[in-house]
Every structure is written in structure tokens, then in C-alpha cells.
Amino acid sequence: MLLASVSPTAEAVGLGSWITNSTISAVITVALIVGFVQIATRKLALVPAGAQNFLEWAVESLFALVESIVGAKLVRKVAPLLVSYFIFILVANWSSLLPGVGSVGVVGEVHGQREFVPLLRGANADVNMTLALALSFMVIWFVWTIREVGLWGFIKHNFGPKGLLETTGLGLVAKALTVTLNAFLAFVFVGVGCIELISIASRALSLPMRLYGNIFGGENLVHALMGLGGPVGGVVFGTLAYGMELLVGLVQALVFLLLCAVYTQLSTAHEEEAH
């Protein structure tokens, strides 16, 4: 890798400004995943071994993790997408640490100035990629929620008052006071519902920025540490930074998976299940 800092935005590498080095990295990531799956499932065996055994173990473990959060009813609907997110994010994070990513490129014109343009850039070090992942999940999350609890159920879950007082067997004064308190609670929960909608909308920003910030910041950290202490220090600090980024790449993929699963469980839980 070069010892210069990573550009905050992905650079165009030809065929129009819409094809960037992060786009190419994302395509390569998908090709790696598809290629490994094809190799692992080319000759399926009842007693798996090798690549098939690893693939089945990984998928079954991730499915079990998602099921522990969303429940057995939704796991077959939810897990395929969330597991796919996890695998793509993990492979993209780790493949961005391979030699040549960020260090092999050409000198081109960027914003009117001649600068080094790497041919490959970590896919998740581009906010456009992480934003696309988050927005696609939010759209599908909304569809899952409406299909599971209905539009009215979604509105009731967010705006419906909870813990209303009972009026049975009370005197007139007590009933009037109870009705007043219930009306006040209903008004309060309307405000709480508005806050909840803002919280839901903010997920489309917090999910991508968390992933992008950690991966982009990690790449800059690797570049900075590799420039410390001369050649020997660069090797030592660079090796430590690479080990840390391997862990960060795994953790961020797991965090994305878990948050998506939790968001789905919270919005699709029925009243009796929540109670």
C-alpha cells in the first residue's frame, strides 16, 4: 500500500464517472463469493468435507444466529438476505487488505490536478456502497414489517398508547380523572411515535456511516502506521495494523448483521409476543 492517506471519495477509473475503483472491487468481491460457492457445491456429498463442509458450517451458524433474534417464524424469510449482507461485507473488508488494493494504479487528472488513482479501493471504504446496502435493507425491512403486522399494526406499534388506566368500577370523579390521564398518555405517545419514526429514519444513516467510518478510518490508519519507524517499523506496525483490521472487518460485518436482525425483530413482533 501507498503511505499516502486514502481519498475520502472513490475515484473514477474509466468508461464514465460512474465506474469507480470501489465499484470494480465490489464486482470482484461478488465474483469471489460466487466462485467459492460454485467450487464448494460442485460435487455435493451427504458427508461434507473441505470447502463444502466449511460453507455449510458458516451458513448454518449464521442462520442459527439470525434465528435466535428474529425467531423460527421469520428466519427463512429474513436470514438469506442478512447472511448475504454479512458474507459480502466480510469478504469486501478482508479483500481490501490484499496487496495491490490501493497501491496499484495510474496517474490521472482528479478535480483538475494530476494525482495517483488506484485501480482498486475497498468497496466499503466508499460511502456510496455502504449507503446502498443500508437503503436496500430499509426498503425490504419496511416490506417485511407491513406484511407481518400490517400498516395499522405498524402505526399502532409506534403511536398507540401503552399502559392505559382502567375505568371499570370507579366513581365519576375517578373516571373523569382516569380519562384525562389516558388522554394525556395518548398525546404523549403520539410524540413518542414521532420520535420513533425519526429514530427509524436515522437507521438509514447510522448503518452506512458506522460501516464506512470504520473501514475508511482503518485503511488510513494502516497507511499511517506503515510509515512509522522506517522500513522495520513499517513492517512491524503494518503487521499489527493488518491484524487489527482483520478483526475490525469481521466485527463490522457482524454488527451490520445483528443490527438488521434486531431492527426486524422489533418491528415484526406481535403485541402478545412483545408482552
pLDDT in tens, 3-19: 456 777 777 776 666 78
CB 95 within 8 A of CB 101: yes
22 or 166: which carries more pLDDT confidence? 22
DSSP secondary structure letter of residue 166: P
CA distance 93 to 125: 9
**Beta bridge pairs of residue 116:** 107
Map grid coordinates 458450517 to a residue: 57
Write out pLDDT tens, residues 108-143.
665 566 677 778 888 898 899 999 999 999 999 999
**Side-chain-facing half-sphere of 117: CA atoms under 13 Å:** 19
Average pLDDT for the chain: 83
Grid coordinates of 249 = 472487518
CB 5 within 8 A of CB 222: no
Burial level of 146, CB count in 10 A (0-12/13-18/19+)?
A: middle
Q: What is the pLDDT of residue 109?
A: 61
- Within 8 A by CB and 6+ apart from 44, the residues are 52
DSSP secondary structure letter of residue 228: S
Q: Which of 135, 133, 258, 128 is nearest to 201 (CA)?
A: 135
CA distance 138 to 142: 6
Q: What is the pLDDT of residue 264?
A: 94
59 or 111: which carries more pLDDT confidence? 59
Grid coordinates of 78 = 429474513
Map grid coordinates 464514465 to a residue: 16
Q: Hey, CA dihedral for 233, 239, 240, 245, is it positive or negative?
A: positive
CA distance 133 to 155: 26
> Which of 22-36, 73-87, 221-235 comes out lowest in average pLDDT?
221-235
CA distance 131 to 201: 13
Average pLDDT over residues 60-71: 94
> Taking the model in full, what pTM does it have?
0.84
Write out pLDDT tens, residues 211-265.
999 998 888 888 777 767 667 766 777 778 888 889 999 999 999 999 999 999 9
One-letter amino acid of 205: L
Grid coordinates of 240 = 499489527
- Give helix 127-159 / helix 230-268 axis angle, nearest 10°: 30
- Within 8 A by CB and 6+ apart from 263, the residues are 141, 203
